[in-house]
Structure 1
Amino acid sequence: MHQPADTPRPSIYYDYQVHAPWLASQHGAQPRHTVVIVGNGPSGMVTALELARHGVPSVILAAELQVSQGSRAIVFTRRSMEILQQVGTAQRMTESGLPWRYGNSIYQGRTVFRMEAPHEADDRFFPMLNLQQQYMEEYLIDACAAHPLIDLRWGNKLVDIAQNDDGVRATVDTPEGDYALQADWLVDASGGRSAIRDAMGVRMEGASYEGLFVIADIRIDLPLPTERLAYFDPDWNRGNTILMHREPHGIWRVDYQLPPGESPEDALRPESLKSRIDAQLAMIGFGGTPWEMDWSSVYSARTLTLPDYVNGRVLFVGDAAHLLPIFGVRGANTAFQDAQSLAWHLAFVVRGWAGRRLLANFSAERVGAAREIIDEAGKSTRFMAPPSRGFRVLRDAVLSLSLTQDFVRPLYHWRTSRPHEYTHSALNSTGDDNALFSAGPAHGAPPLNVRLGADDFLLDHLGGSFDLLYFTEAEALPAPLQAVVADVRARGVPLRVTAVGTGRAVAGADQALADADGHFRRRYGVTASGGAYLLRPDQHICARWLTLDATRLKAAFDAALPQ
C-alpha cells in the first residue's frame, strides 16, 4: 500500500499544505476516463488546464500529498508567463515574483560580460521572473481545483500500465490499496525518474555530463540587485562556476560545481555546505553575514531526449520526455511549452477535429525543440563546466582574454531559453506569403505582443482556439472568407476572427482592435492595404498573407488539421 508522507515538508519561508488522499472507497464505480495524467508537476497541471480549455476532462494522479520540496525551478521566462496567462495563473505569479532582465559574468572580481534581455513597451511580462516552484505549483493546483473538468487525486501512485489500440489500463496504489483506472489516453508527466518510461522500455538519447552541482537555498540579507550573478573560476572553487539568484522572501540560490570524485552525500553534509557558502560570501564581500539554510540538493547536467513522445496511447511530456541542463532556465520553461503543445494536439484528436496524425506532429515539433535546446544548452554547459582538458583550455583562454579583449566577452552568454519556432512544421501553410514578409513573426513562431492600452495587450485577446488576425478598415469581411470561417466552425473547430484596423465592429469578425497609428501593422509587417495571420491554439503562426482569399484560407486549415 502506498503511504505518502503526511507531515508538512520543512521550510523557513513556505507553509506546506498536506492534502487529503483520494480513496476509491469514497467514490462510486470508476468510469472510463478520457485522459489520465501521471504527475502533478508543472507539465502535468498545465496539460490538464489546457485540455480543460478545449472541453476535454482529465484525471491527475499525484503520488504525494503536497507540492514539491524545495524551490527547484525559480526562473520563468516571458513566454512561460504568456502560457501561464492562458491558464489563469500569471497574475498571481507577477504579484509574488521578482522581475529581472540582466545577467552578470564575473571573473577575478570584474564584470566581464553583462547580458541585457530585451524588454519593450509591447511586452506585458519581463524577460524573466524569479519565484520558487512551490508557489507556482500552488497557483496551478488552485486553478485545477476550480475547474470542473479536472479531477486531481492526491496520494495516488501509478504502479502499472497496460495499453492496446483502444486505450490504457492503469493500476493505481493508494493508502487503502490499489484500484484499476481505464482511459483513452495516458500522459506521462511524472518527471525525470519516470517509471512508466522504464516499464515500457523506451530509452532517451544524448549525453550525460560527469560533473555534479549543488543547489543551496539560504535566507540572507544581501544588498544586491535581482540579476543573475555568475562567478567564473573563483579562488575557493578553481576551474568551476558559481551562480547566484535572488528569490522572494529573503532567499538566495547558490549553485556550485563539486570537485571530481566527491559524492552527493559528502557534498550535502552541513559542514561542507557551510564552508563553501561561507567562502562564496567572503569572496563577494559579505563574509560573516548571518545566513540560514532552507533546502539543498545535488544534480547533474544531462542533455537527453526520447526520440518519440508518442508511444501508442501513452504520451510523454516535460522531464519524462527529456532531461535538460538547468543552465539558461530550460527546465520548467520547456515543460510549459511541451504541455501547451501536447494539450491542443491531443484535445483536437479527442474532439474529432483532426485525425491521430496530429499527435505525430506534436512529437516531431517538441523533439525538434528538445534537440535545439540540447545543442544550445550543451554549449553553455561545456563553458560553465568543461568536460575535457581541451574544453577547459579553451574556456580558460576566454577567461584570461576577457579581462582586456571585448571580442571574447559574448562567449559568456548563457543562451537563455527561448520559445522554439516550428519553422518546418507540417502544419504550416505551403501556399501563403510567408517568404514575402520583411517583418513580423514567421512560420512556427510565437506571436509578438502589442500594447493596445495602458493595461491591454494583444495576447489578452488571443488563445484557446485558432485565431485569424485580419487587417482591414472595411466594414465587413469578404463574404467568401466568412463562408470558409463558417465551414470550419461547422466542423466544431474553435476559431476566433479578430479585425485589426479602425476598432469599430466589423461584420464577420468576433472582435475588433484599433490600430490608429499603424504600430500593430508595422510590428506584423503588413501594409495599409491589408494582410492576415492564422495562429494555432498554442498561438504559434501557421500561415500569413499579404492578401488573403477564401481558397488560401481553406488550404491553410486543411494543412493545420490533417484528418
Structure 2
Amino acid sequence: MIVDPVIVAGAGPTGLTLALALARHGVPSVVLDEADGPPRGGPRSAVLRPDTVALYERLGHRGPDADGARWSAWRTVRRRQEVLRVDFAPGPSGTAAPGEGPGAGSGTGAGQPASPLHVLQHRLQHGLAEAAAGQEPIRLVPGCRVVRVEQDDDGVTVHTDGGPAPSWRGSFLVGCDGPRSTVRKLLRVRFPGRTAVDRYAVAVLRAPLPFPGESLLHRDPPWRGDTEVTARPLPDDVWRLDWRLPQATRGGSPLTPDDLVARIRNTLGGWCGEVPPYDLHAAVEYTVHQRLARRWRVGRVFLAGDAAHVLGALGMQSVDEGARDADNLAWKLAMVLRGEAPDALLDSYQTERRGAVGARLRAADQALPLLRSSGPLHAVRRSVLSGSMRRHGALLSDGNLGTGLLGAPPVHSPPPAPGPARGGGRAVPQPRTATPPGAVVEDVAVTAVDGSPWRLRDRLGRHLLVLLVAPGTGVWESRHWLTAGLMPRLAEATAALPVPAELLVTEAYPGAVAHTVLLVRPDGHLVATMTGCRPEELRAHVEAVRGGAGGPPPREPSEDRSGDSPGDSPGTPAGAPSGSRTGGS
C-alpha cells in the first residue's frame, strides 16, 4: 500500500515528467525545486522522438506552440515535411539536393519512420508544469534546496534549505537536479567522462529559410569560416542554428557579437542566395561535456536525466533521454510501492537505462573523431564518403531522424523465455513480429474490451498490456467477439495475472500472424510474443517482468578518471542505509 510520496529533486523536464508519470500510476510525489519561478526563454531546445511526444500527450502536456495547439495537430503538419538533408560533398548551391546523402528516404512518407520534433525547452517545461499543477497527487515546492539526505529501511528523509518545511519524508528519492546534481554529490557517486567534447554557437531566430519544416545538417559549407552548421525547425516558424566552433584550447577564441552576426549572415546568405530579413530571439556560446554516472541507484535514491548523464555532442537529446528515464522508473516504483513486485525490479532501471545511454555515448565516441580529425581524413570528408566512413557520417544525422544508434529508441535485453511447461517437452518458441522483444512497440489501432477505439500508445503508462492480433474484429461490435474464439480464455488468463493488466485487440500488427499475443510493458517495450492463449506461458513472462529479470548488466563505458567532477569521489555513499542495495556499478 502506498503511504509516503516519492520525493523528486528538481522541477526540470525530467523531474516533472517523472511526477506526472507517477501520478498516472496513482503514486503521490513531492517535487522540490531550487528555482523560485518558471524558466525564462532562451536558445535551449530538445529533440523528441515520436514515442516521447506520445508520452507527453498521455501525461497532459497540451503542446509546444505559443497558442497552445495540441501536439497531434503540430506533429501531423511536420510529419509530412520533415526530412533531414546531409551534405558531405558541397554542390554548386552548397547543399545536397532533397533525397541525396545519408538519411535520405528517412522522412515521413508511407512506410517511413516519423521524424522527431524540435521544441524550445522552456516551452516544454512550461507545459509540463501546467499539467503537474492540475494533478492532485503532485505537490510542487519552489525555492527549496536539498542539503542532506538520510535513508533507512522504510524510506528517505530529505533535509532542505528554504521552502515551507526543513525536511521531507518519502518512500524514495529521485535526483533530477541537473548535471551539477546535489543529490549525486551527497551520495558520492562518481560522474566520469570527458570535458569540452565540442564547442558551439547557437542562435534562435525567425527567418524564411528555403526548406520549411526540414532539418538540415550541412558539413563543410562553401562559405568561409564554418565546418558544420545545423538548422532545426521549431514551432511558430522559428529556427535553431548551431555552428561548431574550434576548441578554445586549440586556437579558438571567444565568440563576439560581431562574429555571431557574421556567421548568421554568411549562413543565411549561403542557403537563400542573399541574406533574408531575420529576427534574432536568443543566442549563446556553450561548451558541451560527456559524462555517465557510475551508479544510478543507491539504496532508496535514484538518479535520472542530466544528473545521471550528460550527452555531449548529443546534448539536444538529453530531454528525450530524461523522459525515457522517468517513464522507465515510474512504473517500476509504482509496482514496488503497491506490493506487486519485489525490490529487485528497481535494479533493472539502472541496467536498462544506463546501458542504453552508454551505448549511444560509445557510438559517438567511436565515430566523431574519424569525422572531425585533421590531416588526410579531412580531405576525405570533403569528398563523397563511402563504405564505413559514410556509415559513420550517418551517425551525425541519426539523432535528428530518430534512427540508428544515436536516434532510435533503445532495445532492452528481454527477460529470458520461460522453460518447458509442466509435464516436460520443449519450450514453445515465440512467434515473430516486426518488433523484437525489448524494443518499443508500434503504435497501432486497438480496441478495448468495452468496444472503445484507441491507439496503442494511448493505453500505455498504467498497466501491462496483453494485445491479441485478431483480424476481422474491427468489423464487429465487441459483444460479438468477446465471447468467441480465444477471447474468453485470454480474458480469464489476463484477469488471473498477479499484477493488473489490460486486454486489447488489434486487427493487425506489423509482421504478426493471426492469434499472436503480445505482452507490453507500461513504458511501451515489448516483453514477449506468444501464439494463442497459453496461461502458464503468459504468467511466466509476467513473473519475469515483475522480478526485473533481463540480460546481464551493461558493459562499463570507457572513462577518464581525471575528468571526475568535484565532490564525486569514490567511497561509501552518504546516507546509504547499512546493508542497503546499491544497484551495482
Relative contact order, higher structure (CA 8 A, sep 6+): 2
Are 1:212 and 1:258, in contact at CA under 8 Å, matched by a contact in 2?
yes
Tell me, in whole angstroms, the C-alpha distance in 2 between the residues paired with 1:442 and 1:533: 11
Are 2:29 and 2:138, in contact at CA under 8 Å, matched by a contact in 1?
yes
The 5 A counterparts of 1:1-16 are none
Are 1:50 and 1:87, in contact at CA under 8 Å, matched by a contact in 2?
yes
Tell me, in whole angstroms, the C-alpha distance in 1 between the residues paired with 2:223 and 2:9: 43
The 5 A counterparts of 1:459-538 are 459-472=457-470, 475=484, 477=486, 481-488=490-497, 493-500=499-506, 515=507, 520-521=508-509, 523-527=510-514, 530-538=515-523
Q: Which residue of 1 aligns with 2:567?
A: none
Which of these residues, 81, 85, 89, is aligned with residue 104 of structure 1? 85
Tell me, in whole angstroms, the C-alpha distance in 1 between the residues paired with 2:279 and 2:145: 34
Secondary structure (helix, strand or coil) at the match of 1:267 reads coil
**1:468: how far off?**
0.7
Unaligned 5+ residue runs, structure 2?
Answer: 64-69, 400-406, 422-426, 448-452, 471-480, 549-585
Q: Report the more deviating stretch, 433-442 or 108-117.
A: 433-442
The 5 A counterparts of 1:148-167 are 148-167=136-155
Unaligned 5+ residue runs, structure 1?
Answer: 1-31, 501-514
Relative to structure 1, the CA distance from residue 82 to residue 238 in structure 2 (aligned partners, 3 Å threshold; closer, same or farther) is same
The Cα offsets for residues 180-215 of structure 1, whole Å up to 9 and x where unpaired, read as: 112221111111221221232211244345431122
Which of these residues, 295, 299, 306, is aligned with residue 319 of structure 1? 306
Tell me, in whole angstroms, the C-alpha distance in 2 between the residues paired with 1:243 and 1:380: 18
Secondary structure (helix, strand or coil) at the match of 1:339 reads helix
Secondary structure (helix, strand or coil) at the match of 2:326 reads helix
**1:410: how far off?**
5.0
Are 2:203 and 2:283, in contact at CA under 8 Å, matched by a contact in 1?
yes
Relative to structure 1, the CA distance from residue 228 to residue 479 in structure 2 (aligned partners, 3 Å threshold; closer, same or farther) is closer
Larger proportion of strand: 1
Aligned CA-pair RMSD: 3.3
Amino acid at match of 1:437: P
- 2:246 is equivalent to residue 240 of structure 1: no
Secondary structure (helix, strand or coil) at the match of 1:284 reads helix
Relative to structure 1, the CA distance from residue 357 to residue 428 in structure 2 (aligned partners, 3 Å threshold; closer, same or farther) is farther
Are 1:428 and 1:444, in contact at CA under 8 Å, matched by a contact in 2?
no
The Cα offsets for residues 43-102 of structure 1, whole Å up to 9 and x where unpaired, read as: 111111111111100011222201354242233211211222321326623445662531
Tell me, in whole angstroms, the C-alpha distance in 2 between the residues paired with 1:48 and 1:121: 36
Are 1:481 and 1:553, in contact at CA under 8 Å, matched by a contact in 2?
no
Q: Report the more deviating stretch, 240-249 or 263-272.
A: 263-272
The 5 A counterparts of 1:121-160 are 126-160=114-148
Secondary structure (helix, strand or coil) at the match of 1:357 reads helix
Q: Which residue of 1 aligns with 2:380?
A: 397
Are 1:50 and 1:343, in contact at CA under 8 Å, matched by a contact in 2?
yes
**1:252: how far off?**
1.9
Q: How high is the TM-score relative to the length of structure 2?
A: 0.76
Which of these residues, 214, 217, 223, is aligned with residue 230 of structure 1? 217
- 2:282 is equivalent to residue 295 of structure 1: yes
Are 1:243 and 1:254, in contact at CA under 8 Å, matched by a contact in 2?
yes
The 5 A counterparts of 1:67-216 are 67=39, 69-89=41-61, 92-96=70-74, 99=78, 100-106=81-87, 107-108=89-90, 109-111=94-96, 113=101, 115=103, 116-117=105-106, 119=108, 126-174=114-162, 179-216=166-203
Tell me, in whole angstroms, the C-alpha distance in 2 between the residues paired with 1:427 and 1:376: 27
Are 2:226 and 2:243, in contact at CA under 8 Å, matched by a contact in 1?
no
Q: How high is the TM-score relative to the length of structure 1?
A: 0.79
**1:380: how far off?**
5.3
**Number of aligned residue pairs:** 499
Which of these residues, 431, 434, 441, is aligned with residue 435 of structure 2? 441
Relative to structure 1, the CA distance from residue 169 to residue 461 in structure 2 (aligned partners, 3 Å threshold; closer, same or farther) is closer
Q: Report the more deviating stretch, 281-290 or 337-346.
A: 281-290
Q: What percent of counterpart residues are identical?
A: 26
Tell me, in whole angstroms, the C-alpha distance in 2 between the residues paired with 1:426 and 1:297: 45
The 5 A counterparts of 1:304-383 are 304-327=291-314, 329-379=316-366, 381-382=368-369
Q: Report the more deviating stretch, 111-120 or 101-110.
A: 111-120
Amino acid at match of 2:384: L
Relative to structure 1, the CA distance from residue 159 to residue 427 in structure 2 (aligned partners, 3 Å threshold; closer, same or farther) is farther
Relative to structure 1, the CA distance from residue 428 to residue 189 in structure 2 (aligned partners, 3 Å threshold; closer, same or farther) is farther
Relative to structure 1, the CA distance from residue 542 to residue 172 in structure 2 (aligned partners, 3 Å threshold; closer, same or farther) is same
Relative to structure 1, the CA distance from residue 272 to residue 118 in structure 2 (aligned partners, 3 Å threshold; closer, same or farther) is closer
